[in-house]
Structure formats: structure tokens, C-alpha cells
Structure 1
Amino acid sequence: MPVARRPDAPRSATDDPGSREQRRAVPQTLRRLNSGIEGLDQILGGGLVADSTYIIQGHPGSGKTILANQVAFHQASQGASVLYVTLLAEAHERLFAFLSTLDFYDPSMLGRQVNYISAFSIMEHEGLDGVVRLLRREIPRQKPTLLVIDGLLNAREKATSALDMKKFIAELQNHAASVHCTALLLTSARFEDSSPEYTMVDGIIELREEELGVRSMRRLRVRKLRGSAALGGLHQYAIGPGGLVTFPRTEALLARPLQPEEPSAERTTSGIAEIDQILGGGLSRGSTTLLIGPSGAGKTSWGLHFLAGAPSEPALHFGFYESPQRLHAKATALGLDLAPSLNAGSLSLEWRPSAELLADAVVGELLRMAAERGVKRLFLDGLGVLERSLSTHQRFSPFLSVLVGELRARGITVLTTLEMSELFGTTPHLASPEILSTVDNIVLMRLMERDGRIHRVFSVVKTRNNDFEPALHDFEITSQGIRIFNRLLGKSFAPTFQRGDPA
């Protein structure tokens, strides 16, 4: 019989209805498991939610087994216990031989922190009931914090009905929950959205490999995630000696800058005194300037002046066309001595070959370098390469917009280049004209034939919030650097921009 509380007794916090409401209103922090896979925890909103059940699905060769084993060995390295149950005919020795080529595999953990059990024979002779009895015996005995079931499709083929499969999933989840265990279920099939597999689990991670033209691209998508917000869309990933690496989609990751922006009215040099005058005092700190022009117009030469213009500010060249050795030689030919800045570590020259790039991986690497080296001046040479490395050209405008926003928030002054397809054209054909509104300044460069000679000319066609000189200027590239002139070339020039296919 309950004991009545005296009317004059103090009311405890647990008795207060308002207190109970307040507790219900406070968001609960979910316990997470670190996957050990670069980028994946960011996509999942902080890692795998502990005590949850996930389906990892993908065609053969998409990397499901690598992902699961990479998580398993990472968790084991953190002191966790892992039970890996296979419903496949493949012998574990073959699996271990394959895993031995990957850096995360540690054979000393086998039979200790990571235990593999084959349930294929039991499933063949005793059906799913036999597998459930095996799990009922092994899970309480081993008390794993991570359970992997490899071969969910085979289990489904053994089920006589959807109800049988539902019972199997329920039994598996109940036994895992009894020891606070997170479960990963691997399958090579994509089930119907109403299937028991999809409706009963807490998360679904889909791996896919797609052909885009003559190249293939691996992409990951979180199709379902209970209790947590994931980064939406398709995220690129790669498989290498270290295992699986994921690259969160730039537009999702940087939808809001990772750090608050602090606008500045300060100016910084472009690296060329005459250009500073034309721009009304130089470049606004934290601004992005786009140089558009054909090959040979002098875009990279301008970029080298920009890098050398403020030796006290950490600077980075990140490009796709020329190696550091060639850039150093070009700078020397321009009369620019980069050696002191390179030796002091205040200037870095980074080159990435343009073939088979993953744009999201490039952005991740670029931002890491900028943060680690305290970069304040960035010359990004080759926006067209990044555009072509995207899965679709429709991504380029939002991709560039969030990247520029992040660099601006970090106070990095950027000079970047975009190739114009026609050597002697006056109208850039842009697949994504919207990028022109993303950048702060636009300089249009071109080659002009006159009096039997080819002249290099440029004009400033946009600056944000600053006055500028709109005249057409010709310039020369000499052994003393770039020389700017104001010579009349005989006709006016009014640039226009048209939508077109990328070069």
C-alpha cells in the first residue's frame, strides 16, 4: 500500500510536474561510436548512434566489408569487443588474406577483441532459428559492443515469409540491446522501402559505384537515420591502402561557414602596384578575385605576383596545371624570388594532377592546409578542373559559393583562375554564369591581334563595394615582372557573358 506524503512535507524535484516537463524539454545527447573512417562521422552527425542497428548496403565490390571491418578494428583498438558473424560461404581465411592488404587490419586482435564466427552451415541446416540460437548463445557470452552480420541477403532468402524475416531482425535487435551492442547488417541487395529490414532498423547507409562518362565514382548516401541529422545527398568516397575514406559533400558540409565571418575594411596588395591603383587601393582583405582568360593570357604570372606581394602573410598556391618546380622556374623568369618565403615556410606550392580528382576531397585537403598553415593569401589556379571533377555541372555554382563563403569567413584573400576556351574571343562561355555573382572581383583577360602583333589586355569588370578604373589596359610579361600600360588600342571593349558548355 503506498505511503501518503504529509501535507506539510517538502515537495521533491521529481514530484514537481513543472520539473518533469522541463526534463522532457531538455534534448538528450546520444552516445556515439566513432567509426574510425575519415569523414563518415561528419556525415552521420557525430558518429554511429550507440545501441542502434544499421544496414550497410551496396553492390558487390562497393566496399561494405571494408567499411564494417574498418569500424570493427577501430573499435577494438579503443578497447571494445567485436563479434563478426558471417552468413556467407566464403572461408574466413580468404577474408583475412584480403584484409591483410589494408593498414587497419591487426591479426593480433583475432580471437581476442575481434571474434569471427561462420553461421553459414548452421543457417543451411537449421534455418534462421539456428542462427538466432547461435546469437542467443554467443552475444551474452562475449558481450560485444559491436555486432556485424555479413550476408543479410542470404538470411532473407532463407526466410519463408516477411514475418519470418521480421522475427529474425527483432530477435537480433533484442539480443544486441541486452548487452548495449551496436549492430551493422551487411547486404548486397536493395530491399523495398516497406520491407522489414528497412522499417525496423535505425539507419541505412548505401554505397554505390557509378559510371560518369569514361570514369567511375564511388558515392555514399545515408538513406535513413533515427535520432540524428545526417548530411544529405551523395558523398564521394575512395578505397585505398588505409581502407575507406569519405569526403562529405562540400555544399552540405559548408552550408554555413564553419566559423563566423568578421568583415574587414582593410586592403591588401594584389602584388602589382599598378593593379592596386586600378582597383582603388588594392584588394579587400578576405575577398575573392576571379581572373578569366585564355591559355597564355598571363593568369598564372599574375598569381605568382600575388603570392610574392606580401611576404609577411602566409600564402598558398594550390593548382592543377604546373608542378612546384615549374612554378619556381616561372617566378624566377619573372624576376620574383620565392626562395626566402619557401625556405621560411610562409609560402607553400601545392600541385595536384588534374586527372581523376574528387572535388570534395580537394576542398577538404585545401581547407586543412589553410588552417594548419595559417594561410591568409591563396592562389587557386584552375577552377575549371574542379568543375570537371564534379559529378554534374549543376553542382558547380553552389559548390563554389560555399567554398568562397568559408574562405571569406577565415579572412583568406583569394585569387583564382578560370580558363576561357577561345584564344582570341571576347565573350567567356560559362557553364555556370551564376559564379560571377559569387566572387567579389572579376578581371577579364584576353589576347588581341593588332599591327601584326599579339597583345595581352585586361579590364576590371567588377569589384564589390569599391571604385575601380574601368579602362582597357595592355600589359607585357617581362624578366622584371608584369608591366601595365594605358596605351590606346584603337577600339572600345564592352565584355558580355554568355551561358555555354564548359571548355
Structure 2
Amino acid sequence: MTMPSSTLTTLQRLSSGVPGLDQVLGGGFFQAGVYIVHGLPGSGKTILANQLCYHQAEQGGRAVYVTLLAESHSRMLQHIHTLSFFDETAIPERVSYLSAFNVLEADGLKGLMTVLRQEMRSLAANVLVLDGLVAAAEAAPTDRDLKKFIHELQTSAVFHGCTVFLLTSGTPQRISAEHTMVDGILELEERLYEARSERAIQVRKFRGAASLRGKHPLRITDAGLQVFPRIESMFAKPPEPQEEPGVLSTGIATLDAMIEGGGLPGCSASVVVGSTGTGKTTMGLHFLSRSSTEEPGLLFGFFESPGRLRAKGRKMGLNIDALEASGALHLMWTSQGEHVLDEMGHRLLDAVQRLNIKRVVIDGLSGFFESAVHPERITRYFSCLANELRRRGATVLMTLETRDVVGSLVSLPYGVSGFVDNLFFLRFVEDQGHVKRLLTVTKMRDTQFELGLHAFHIGNQGMLIAGLHTANGDVIPSASVASGSPPPDA
């Protein structure tokens, strides 16, 4: 007995035109689906719906925006005309606006359905927005009547190949008749965290595909909505093992001499921990000084501007300016402010992908920590971020500042040691009235290294470690480093 061939066809996707949203949805909305968009006033529903409409118009489609009890069309257009997606020339041929509240009031849901069918048919619309589902629900005599309205809307959407979005300010926590009928439910929200607020989007229901669960941060910018899928939900899979990733020099010959193989294992993640002034950024600049057009480098920092980093590099004889000019090195600076944690992660990953970066320095993990409205996410977040950077072929060196300026005991916050392969400690230690810098290699995964405390000096040759060979083959005397005096050839 032969099985009959399936008559089912694969549902086609509809791109939202909202950066990051299609990834959350697992590839976009399904064509001819019916979706509810929840959100309190001011959460971004109207901007999202208009962004969908104008994106479809740009792609050659047509959209109709139907309002019930909502702001006037002229007022709406005044509010959105400054957004970059808005295109006045698309009105009314490709994006049409219609008020149907009078029809709803006079003829009820039956009259409203007639209008919606006419608009789908006459405009050959592939997107229809109904703004004001609450008004339609209030006009329904019973829940059964509302279900019949949604069912007829779904039937019309499939017949005309039109994707429908129903906007409502009702609460999604209460299960309503319409919730059981639609293909998907999205919720927009804005929450206050002490003095700052953060917007988010959540997919509560999505038939036909696996969406990314949970809440995902979003921003409303001059370009409209932009969604930033949570790093740990989007990049949860561990990186695939790479064949012989090789070794990358730290840019400090005396440090390379302490490590088996002569540098950091390729595609590894390292953290340099130390108090202010111990040389964490200096170590990062050394690592980036070995960048090339074949092995580009990127510094992603928060506290020192590109100008200051270039000046610091010049004082130590590092060729930061020349590397930038050749395209081998890129400096990305984010000033202190209220940043979205996942936005910064995606900025970093996008730059690594776009520029084919192989050496990454994140100068100041605290810049990420301070942006987290949910600090309990930090360990999972950085574990997945580091894994994704490894998967993209990058070797990562991160710096983390500790509070104690002088001392021998250092505690690691936020579970840092769990998501890194290599761990370096830089510290100031008082010795008989003198303060000296010490370096300790505490952890290197699957790599042998030299144990112990190593005094080091930072001068016009950069960072030099006592008792170990320099690039010229000289040995730096421990006494000169311990006293703070420059080495013989500094």
C-alpha cells in the first residue's frame, strides 16, 4: 500500500522589516496569519505596525491601516513622519489609511468584517492592520460572536493572502476569546528599573515555528523599532570544535615566554583582572599591536577614548595609528550612559562578523555589568557571548577592574572564572616602602604555563616582565623592576 503524497505546502514567511524581530520569530511572520500585538499606550504598537506597512510597501507590497477608536490619521502621520522608514510617496497607493469606527458603531462586527474584506480585495493588500481591537471586542455581544469574527477574519486572510495584525491595549494576562483563535501574540512593554527604564518585546504565542522565548530588549530610534534578541537565547549552542586554532602572541615577548606554545591559544577567552593603573589596558594594546590585515583586531571599550588609546600606544612604541590606517585595527568606543546589555553584545558580534576580526579586546567588563538590569544574567550572557566569538574565529582578551588598589587577595565578581579559558592577575604590592606591579597567571585551560609571582615594568617599550627574555634576547633584572626603575634598554 502506498502512502498518498502530502498536499500540504510550506507556509511562506513575511519579513517584518524590524531589525532583530525576525530572529526572535524564527524567520518572520507567516503569510496570511492573524497576529495580536498587545501593549500599554506608549509601548510602541503604532510605530511597529506602521514600520510593518512601509516595509511591505518598499518590498513592492500593499498595506492598509484601519483604525477604530485611535488617534486621527493626520496626527499619526505627524508623529511618524520623522522616522526614516516613513515614505510619503507610498500614500495612498501602497499604504492606505481608513477609519472604520463609524461602521462598527452602526453595523457592528458584521459591518466591520465587510469593510475589511473589501479593503483586502480592492487594494490587493498583503498586510492589514486593525488598530483598536478593544473597541471591536466591546462591540461583540458575546465571546462567541468575537470568536466568529476572528474566524471569518482568518478565512478572509487566507483567501486574499493577507497577513493581519490586531493592535490592542488590553492585558494579555487575562485569557480572552480572541487569544485562542489567532496564530500569534506579541506583547510590548516598558518597565522601570529604579531610575532607568527598558523596553522589551515578548512572543507569548507563535504557531508553526519555534520562536525565541522570554523577553527581548528593544529601542525606539529615529529608524523605528529595533529588537535585540537576548544573547543567551540566540547563541545558546556551544561552538563547534575547530581544527588546530593555533596560538596568538600576546604582543609581550616576556609573557609569551611564560606560556606553552608562546602565546594565547587561538579562539580562547581570557580575562585580565587588576585594580586601576596596573596595566590592563596596556596588556590589551600589546595584544592588538600584533594585528594585521590577515588577522584584524578590534578594541571594544568604555572608559578611554580612541584618542587617548592612540596616545598611550605612541608612548609605548606601539603602532596603533599605522594599524588603524591600514585597516588592521578598529577602535569602538561606547561612552558611559544607559545602555542596553544585549544591544552592546550584538554591536560587538556584528563588528566581528563584518570586519572578520580575529583579535578582540573588551576593555572594561564593568561597562557591560553596569548595563545589566538583571545582574543574574551576567554569567550566562558572557558564557554565550564568548562561545559565539570563539565560533566566529576570534580570540578574546577582556579586562576587569577590582576595587582594592594595593593587596594580594582578589575576589572575582559575577562568576567570571567560569566563562573564561585563561585568567591573569595584575596587582600592586607594597614591599619595604616601595610599591611594585606583579603579574600572576592563574588559569590556562589545556595549556601549561609558568607559575609564580612575576614583577613587571611599564615604560617606553611597553610591558616587560622581570627575569624573562625580551624580544632582543636580553634578560630584565628582577631588582630593577621591583624598585620601579626602568630596565637597562627602556
Q: Same fold (TM over 0.5)?
A: yes
The whole-number CA distance in structure 2 between the counterparts of 1:185 and 1:426 is 61
The one-character-per-residue Cα deviations of 1:232-283 (angstroms, maximum 9, x if unpaired) are 11111101111001111101111126x7441425222111011001122211
The offset of 1:452, in angstroms, is 2.2
User: Do 2:341 and 2:371's aligned partners in 1 also have CA atoms closer than 8 Å?
Assistant: yes
Q: State the partner residue of 1:239.
A: 220
The whole-number CA distance in structure 2 between the counterparts of 1:37 and 1:262 is 34
User: Do 1:393 and 1:431's aligned partners in 2 also have CA atoms closer than 8 Å?
Assistant: no
Task: In structure 1, give the amino acid aligned to 2:248.
Answer: T
Task: In structure 1, give the amino acid aligned to 2:96.
Answer: N
Q: State the partner residue of 1:400.
A: 382
Matched, 1:418 2:404: no
User: Do 1:314 and 1:376's aligned partners in 2 also have CA atoms closer than 8 Å?
Assistant: yes
**Given the alignment, which residue of 24, 44, 66 partners 1:63?**
44
Task: In structure 1, give the amino acid aligned to 2:3.
Answer: G
Q: State the partner residue of 1:198.
A: 179
Change (3 A) 1:432 1:373: same
Moved more, 261-270 or 440-449: 261-270
Moved more, 238-247 or 79-88: 79-88
Q: State the partner residue of 1:9.
A: none
The offset of 1:83, in angstroms, is 1.5
The one-character-per-residue Cα deviations of 1:69-99 (angstroms, maximum 9, x if unpaired) are 1011000111112111101242110011111
Task: In structure 1, give the amino acid aligned to 2:455.
Answer: D
Partner SS, residue 187 of structure 2 = strand
Change (3 A) 1:216 1:125: same
Moved more, 245-254 or 135-144: 135-144
The offset of 1:488, in angstroms, is 8.4
Partner SS, residue 329 of structure 1 = helix
The whole-number CA distance in structure 2 between the counterparts of 1:216 and 1:323 is 27
Q: Structure 2 unaligned runs (5+)?
A: 468-477, 481-490
Structure-to-structure mapping, 1:220-259, within 5 angstroms: 220-256=201-237
Q: State the partner residue of 2:30.
A: 49
Task: In structure 1, give the amino acid aligned to 2:338.
Answer: E
Q: State the partner residue of 1:441.
A: 422
User: Do 1:356 and 1:389's aligned partners in 2 also have CA atoms closer than 8 Å?
Assistant: yes
User: Do 2:245 and 2:267's aligned partners in 1 also have CA atoms closer than 8 Å?
Assistant: no
The offset of 1:192, in angstroms, is 4.8
The whole-number CA distance in structure 1 between the counterparts of 2:10 and 2:231 is 26
Structure-to-structure mapping, 1:8-23, within 5 angstroms: 17-18=2-3, 20=5, 23=6
Q: State the partner residue of 1:363.
A: 345
Structure-to-structure mapping, 1:372-411, within 5 angstroms: 372-411=354-393
Matched, 1:151 2:112: no
Q: State the partner residue of 2:485.
A: none
The offset of 1:137, in angstroms, is 3.1
Q: State the partner residue of 1:141.
A: 122
Structure-to-structure mapping, 1:83-232, within 5 angstroms: 83-232=64-213
Moved more, 34-43 or 385-394: 385-394
The whole-number CA distance in structure 1 between the counterparts of 2:198 and 2:141 is 37
The whole-number CA distance in structure 2 between the counterparts of 1:69 and 1:430 is 47
The offset of 1:195, in angstroms, is 1.3
**Given the alignment, which residue of 261, 266, 280 partners 2:246?**
266
Structure-to-structure mapping, 1:258-337, within 5 angstroms: 260-264=240-244, 266-280=246-260, 281-311=262-292, 313-337=295-319
Task: In structure 2, give the amino acid aligned to 1:390.
Answer: A
The whole-number CA distance in structure 2 between the counterparts of 1:134 and 1:383 is 56
Moved more, 308-317 or 34-43: 308-317
The one-character-per-residue Cα deviations of 1:204-228 (angstroms, maximum 9, x if unpaired) are 1111111112110011110000001
The whole-number CA distance in structure 2 between the counterparts of 1:192 and 1:484 is 61
Percent identity between matched residues is: 42
The offset of 1:115, in angstroms, is 1.0
Partner SS, residue 257 of structure 2 = helix
Partner SS, residue 278 of structure 1 = coil
The one-character-per-residue Cα deviations of 1:375-406 (angstroms, maximum 9, x if unpaired) are 11111111121122122111111111111111
Change (3 A) 1:80 1:380: same
User: Do 2:21 and 2:28's aligned partners in 1 also have CA atoms closer than 8 Å?
Assistant: yes
The whole-number CA distance in structure 2 between the counterparts of 1:112 and 1:469 is 72
Partner SS, residue 405 of structure 2 = coil
The whole-number CA distance in structure 2 between the counterparts of 1:80 and 1:260 is 40
Q: State the partner residue of 1:465.
A: 446
User: Do 1:206 and 1:223's aligned partners in 2 also have CA atoms closer than 8 Å?
Assistant: yes
Change (3 A) 1:414 1:368: same
The offset of 1:354, in angstroms, is 2.8
The whole-number CA distance in structure 2 between the counterparts of 1:444 and 1:306 is 16
Moved more, 406-415 or 424-433: 424-433
Partner SS, residue 459 of structure 1 = strand
Task: In structure 2, give the amino acid aligned to 1:342.
Answer: E
User: Do 2:38 and 2:172's aligned partners in 1 also have CA atoms closer than 8 Å?
Assistant: no
User: Do 1:272 and 1:309's aligned partners in 2 also have CA atoms closer than 8 Å?
Assistant: no
The offset of 1:348, in angstroms, is 0.8
Moved more, 239-248 or 331-340: 331-340
Change (3 A) 1:365 1:196: same
Partner SS, residue 370 of structure 2 = helix
The one-character-per-residue Cα deviations of 1:276-297 (angstroms, maximum 9, x if unpaired) are 0112221111111110111111
Partner SS, residue 85 of structure 1 = strand
Q: Structure 1 unaligned runs (5+)?
A: 1-15, 490-503
Change (3 A) 1:92 1:328: same
User: Do 1:80 and 1:113's aligned partners in 2 also have CA atoms closer than 8 Å?
Assistant: yes
Task: In structure 1, give the amino acid aligned to 2:384.
Answer: V
The whole-number CA distance in structure 1 between the counterparts of 2:251 and 2:411 is 28
Change (3 A) 1:170 1:463: same
Matched, 1:343 2:325: yes
User: Do 2:273 and 2:399's aligned partners in 1 also have CA atoms closer than 8 Å?
Assistant: yes
User: Do 2:83 and 2:222's aligned partners in 1 also have CA atoms closer than 8 Å?
Assistant: yes
The whole-number CA distance in structure 1 between the counterparts of 2:408 and 2:189 is 42
User: Do 1:211 and 1:217's aligned partners in 2 also have CA atoms closer than 8 Å?
Assistant: yes
The whole-number CA distance in structure 1 between the counterparts of 2:357 and 2:172 is 48
The one-character-per-residue Cα deviations of 1:351-382 (angstroms, maximum 9, x if unpaired) are 01131111211121111211221211111111
| TM-score of the superposed pair, with normalisation by structure 2 | 0.91
Task: In structure 1, give the amino acid aligned to 2:372.
Answer: L
Matched, 1:456 2:437: yes
For these two proteins, the number of residue pairs brought into alignment is: 469
The whole-number CA distance in structure 1 between the counterparts of 2:176 and 2:38 is 14
The whole-number CA distance in structure 1 between the counterparts of 2:391 and 2:286 is 24
